[in-house]
A = this chain, B = another copy of it.
């Protein structure tokens, strides 16, 4: 069995530093108009639905949980008691590639229903990027970024070191971005920390 060295722990810290560096790059490239539109539509919608596959789906749920704490009528697509989507609702899709098949298919249905579709993605030129009303681009590397070599290939070439694999940097960037959207929605709605806590599940 492999014996872990102190050096291995150093590299964990270096990876964390690399993730932070990537986050800083994302902030520099964010489109303020898209953020403004996303805040407006999220506040104006009747119900809010979130969706995503895999780890992006987990980020979508983390966002939905906070929206619930804030008092929004919010649902995760695919959960047990999620009702039908109506034209006056807002659907927020999280997809690094913007092409995840099941989510892109659902995005088309959302547009057929006539609801507002917001996509958080790293690829504007993608299925979801093209059909959405609002697209927030987080310019992270995604798991299909093969044209420039995956992170590990670049890792081996020495270009980038200590980078987590596949869509990791998008997933982290989207969580940080969406939690900052929450922070601003708190300011906008005037919700107090006590109100948020009062809605937090009391049977877990």
A117 CB to closest chain B CB (Å) equals: 11
User: Is A135 interfacial (CB-CB < 8 Å)?
Assistant: no
Chain A interface residue count, CB cutoff 8 Å, equals 102
* Bound Cα distance A83, B77 (Å): 17
With contacts A9-B32, A81-B75, A182-B165 taken as known, whether A40 is within 8 angstroms of B4 at the C-beta atoms is: yes
Residues of A49-73 at the interface with B, using a CB-CB cut-off of 8 Å, are 49, 51, 53-55, 58-59, 61-62, 64-69
With contacts A43-B4, A81-B68, A182-B165 taken as known, whether A197 is within 8 angstroms of B143 at the C-beta atoms is: yes
A5 CB to closest chain B CB (Å) equals: 8
CB atoms of B181 and A12 under 8 A apart: yes
CB atoms of B204 and A54 under 8 A apart: yes
Among B36, B176, B183, B198, contact of A162 (Cβ-Cβ < 8 Å): B183
Residues of A174-193 at the interface with B, using a CB-CB cut-off of 8 Å, are 175-177, 179-184, 186-188, 192-193
Q: Which of chain B's residues have a CB closer than 8 A to the CB of A6?
A: 32, 36
CB atoms of B164 and A204 under 8 A apart: no
CB pairs A–B below 8 angstroms (28 shown): A4-B188, A5-B36, A8-B184, A9-B36, A15-B179, A15-B180, A16-B23, A19-B176, A20-B27, A20-B176, A54-B201, A55-B62, A55-B65, A64-B80, A67-B81, A68-B83, A74-B81, A76-B79, A78-B204, A83-B201, A84-B200, A101-B204, A109-B203, A110-B203, A143-B200, A164-B183, A171-B175, A172-B172
